[in-house]
Structure formats: structure tokens, C-alpha cells
Structure 1
Amino acid sequence: MAMALAAAFGLASGSSQALAQPKELVIFAAASLKNALDEAAAGWARETGKPAPKMSYAASSALAKQLEAGAPADLFLSADLDWMDHAAGKGLIRPDTRVTLLANRIALIAPSDSTATIAKGPGLDLAAVVGQGRLAMANVDSVPAGKYGKAALEKLGAWDGVKDKLAQADNVRAALLLVSRGEAPLGIVYTTDAAADPKVKVLATFPPDSHPPILYPVAVTRDSTHPDAVAFLAYLRGAGPKAAFEKQGFTVLNKAANAT
């Protein structure tokens, strides 16, 4: 009887300890951040001895809508200000934690063995280069990379020629994959995405004034109760992740939303 009670007590005690363990830290992040954030998460685990955060990568639009639908996450990293503003407008983030962390650029890419060339400047004629193929882009109505790309093409006078020749993807990494696999002769992605895939090459980088600034805000979510949420955000603003971001080609801004 004593052994049975001891075993039962031990089981109950173990269950209580399991329940007392904090849930995993969940990060919702734009797909273009994958390489850099995976490295940052691994660095966090090494330096703190804690489990690496669980990363959920997708288009910023999809992640914001998931948050709105009640999906649990502790941090949200968006690839544009609009979707972070959307989350803020719905009361889904803690405004006092919001930081504009990074900046990026967009580029026109082709498979690494492509012989295509592009004449830069206004009047850009992509339709002739695309030919019977498709221009791979993230969704131009909702995904930040697609929206930036469309704005640049409109500014450069190339949109009308290619708007009916698009292969629109759910996120920028999916658009990158279409070009990497040779399924599309051209694509528009972030320069950081192009740098992460040796099977593509950059034909041209779009002028910064051809599209809205490409900025990546981050904030702790309203419903996060994880004790490490604020600490991980602070870590992302530190030296280790800064090196990881810069290695991937991001510009580190690290500017609080209320900074002047």
C-alpha cells in the first residue's frame, strides 16, 4: 500500500511539474526572415540554455489574420508596416513593445543559368523577357513583397505589360522557389531571399524610391503570457542577431515606434 501511495504521489507530482512548465515561445514571422531568425533562435538557445522558440513562417497578411482569429503567438514580426498597423488597430499587440527592427530591398531575379538581361530605368520592358513564361511574385494584393513589387513595376512603367503574366504565390519564399526550380523565368523577391538561394541570380535591384520603404516591425502580442516574450524581443535587438540579420543582407534599424 505504501509503495502504491508513493507511486501515485510521484505520478501526481510529476504531472504538476509538467503543468508548471511554461509553454513554448511562439514567434509569428514573415517568411523572408526564416534564415536569419532561425540563426537567432539557435543563438538564443545556446546563450540562455532555454528551448529555441517555435517559429511559424508565412506571409505577414496570413499571420496577422491568424492572430485576429485567435491563434496563439508571443511575438509578431511583419514585413511591412501595414499589417502591423492592422494588428495594432485590432488591439492584438502591445504598442509599447513595438520596434521597427529591419529594412530590406526588392530585386528582379532569374534562375542562375539564365541568359536574360534587363535594361534598367523607366520604361522597363519585362514582358519581352518573360515571353510565354510567368513573372513569379508574392500575392500583389495582400503580401508585402508582392505589394512592393507591384508598386515598383507601376512606377517604372512595366506593370501593364506583365500584370496578366503573373505567377502569384502565397508568400515570397514560394515565389523564390518558382524561379529556383526554373518554373518561372523571372521573379521579384527581397534581396535577402535571393542571397539565400544559390540557384537564382539578381538581374536588377529596384530603386528605393520606386516603392514604399520596406520595413520590418516587431511587437509582443497582446495575449502573450510567456515570461520570455519581452526578453526574446530584447535579444533580437542585440549584437548576436544583428550579425545574423546583416549576414542575410538586412539593414538593422532597431528603432522604437515612439522614437523621434
Structure 2
Amino acid sequence: MVARKGLGLRAIAIAGFAAALTAVMPAAHAEDKVVVFAAASLKDGLDAVNKACEADVGEAATISYAASSALARQIEGGAPADIFISADLDWMKYLSDQKLTKPDTEVKLLGNEIVLVAPKDSTVETKIEKGFDLAKLIGDGKLAMGDFKAVPAGKYGKAALESLGIWSSVESKVAQAENVRAALKLVSTGEAPLGIVYATDAHAEKGVKVIGTFPEDSHPPIIYPVAQTADSKDKDTPAFLKCLQSATAGALFKEQGFTVLTPSN
């Protein structure tokens, strides 16, 4: 059983890595369409917003989802994107520092929370607080979370565990995933007994349940900035950016559990 689960963890990790590498491929063929590179955690909400914005913009955008880190590096490498939506401020700054975004278009679009999740049939219960025994809850299993050196959800998760004084006790038990949705899958399929994901991911996945929410002051604010890229060429990009900040988009994002940070147009 252990060997099977180990293979499962590796298979999902490899699949996540492959997805990150191929996520931007459709963009190269998206002629005459706005191309959006967006954090994986945005998928459900942004897919709905994209459909709603089609009437205003004229056609739906082509959206590629992956870890913010992978997408930022693809843009740095010349991948054709018109809009970048990151799951943290760091990767947006990474591009803006290289003048790869248009600074006057950058907006703090959404907010989120991170939560501890377990498979839906799990009996685990806990209170997330300073010094709580997460290592005991994990047992011989793994704690699924995004790559804590690059993926925003993983970075937020590590910061929270450090703040609560338990990182050193669980670091060796962490199964790092290529993006937060890959971490979510490890939990929903039972490959990992616990995971740290965004509240919106837990909302979108019926195969998991929330065990607890990490205190807001245990990690940096979770902010999703959006900006037009410096090399954007599609004439409809400004219209799509405006639609992302509309009341309609805000309502759809709220349905998925996001906090809307921008005033509606």
C-alpha cells in the first residue's frame, strides 16, 4: 500500500510539472484573442468571468493556468501573453522589475485565505493555533502543498506554519506540488491525508473538507494582482482588463469565495 501511494504521489507531481510546462502552449496559437496567463487557483472563477466578459470584449480570451512562478518565467522567456494574474505580489514584481508589465495597468484584484483540508471522509479534527500538533495529524502520510520556494500557496503555507512555530516538525513530511491544484488533487484522491490550499480551491473540490482556516496574521496578505504585459499586442486587452474589474466579474469571483479588492466599474 505504501509503495502504491508513493507511486501515486510521484505520478501526480510529474503530471503537475508537465502541466506547468505545457500550460502556455495554446497561447502561441491564439491569434486575434486576448491571452491571459493566470494562477491555477483562479480557474473556476476566471472561467466563469471569461464567459461573462465575452459579450463586452467580443470574444472569449484564451486562458492558460499554472503556478504563478511558472507563468512569470514563461513571460520572461518571451511567451505571448497579454495579461498576467499572479497569486502573489512577488511574481508580479518579478516581471515589473524587468519592465515586462505596464505599471499603470497593475491592480490588486482579489484576496483569498489558506486552509487545511482533508479527504471528505476524513475524521481528523483540530484547531489551528500556535504550536498545534500538525505532525501527529499527518502521521506516516504527507502534507500536500505547493512548492514552498516558488508557488505562492506553498510560500503562504510555509509562512503560516513558521508563524505558528511548527514548520520544523512538519517540513520532512511535506509533499511539494507544482501548483496548488496539484496539491489539492493529492488530498482529494487520498494520496495525502492533509493539505494546505486556498479556501477557494476547497470550495471548488467536493472531494475535500476544510479542517481549519489559518489565521490571517500568520502569513502575508494573499493578494492577486493583475497587469497588462509590456509586449501585449491585442487591441481588446484593455477591455478585458476593465471587465475583470466589473461588478459582474466581482460577483462571479465572490461566488467562488474570493474577496474582491477593486472597486466595481
* 1:135 maps to 2:143: yes
* Partner in structure 2 of residue 157 of structure 1: 165
What CA deviation, in whole Å up to 9, does each residue of 1:135-175 have, x standing for no partner?
00000000000000000001111111110011100000000
Q: How far apart, CA to CA, are the structure 1 residues paired with 2:35 and 2:130?
A: 43
* Partner in structure 1 of residue 176 of structure 2: 168
* Partner in structure 2 of residue 62 of structure 1: 70
* Partner in structure 1 of residue 21 of structure 2: none
Structure 1 residue ranges without an equivalent (≥5): 1-20, 256-260
* 1:120 maps to 2:125: no
* 1:40 maps to 2:40: no
Match of 2:82 among 74, 86, 95: 74
**Identity of aligned pairs, percent?**
57
Moved beyond 6 Å, runs of 4+: none
Q: How far apart, CA to CA, are the structure 2 residues paired with 1:205 and 1:224?
A: 38
Q: How far apart, CA to CA, are the structure 2 residues paired with 1:49 and 1:62?
A: 27
Match of 1:50 among 58, 61, 64: 58
* 1:103 maps to 2:106: no
* Partner in structure 1 of residue 154 of structure 2: 146
Structure 2 residue ranges without an equivalent (≥5): 1-29
Secondary structure of the 1:198 match is: coil
RMSD: 1.2
Question: Contact 2:57–2:236 at 8 Å: present in 1 too?
Answer: no
Q: How far apart, CA to CA, are the structure 1 residues paired with 2:179 and 2:207?
A: 18
* Partner in structure 2 of residue 178 of structure 1: 186
Q: How far apart, CA to CA, are the structure 2 residues paired with 1:49 and 1:99?
A: 19
Report the count of equivalent residues: 234
* 1:93 maps to 2:112: no
Question: Contact 2:56–2:239 at 8 Å: present in 1 too?
Answer: no
Q: How far apart, CA to CA, are the structure 2 residues paired with 1:120 and 1:77?
A: 30
Q: How far apart, CA to CA, are the structure 2 residues paired with 1:87 and 1:189?
A: 25
* Partner in structure 2 of residue 4 of structure 1: none
Shift of 1:24: 1.6
* Partner in structure 2 of residue 217 of structure 1: 225
Shift of 1:50: 2.5
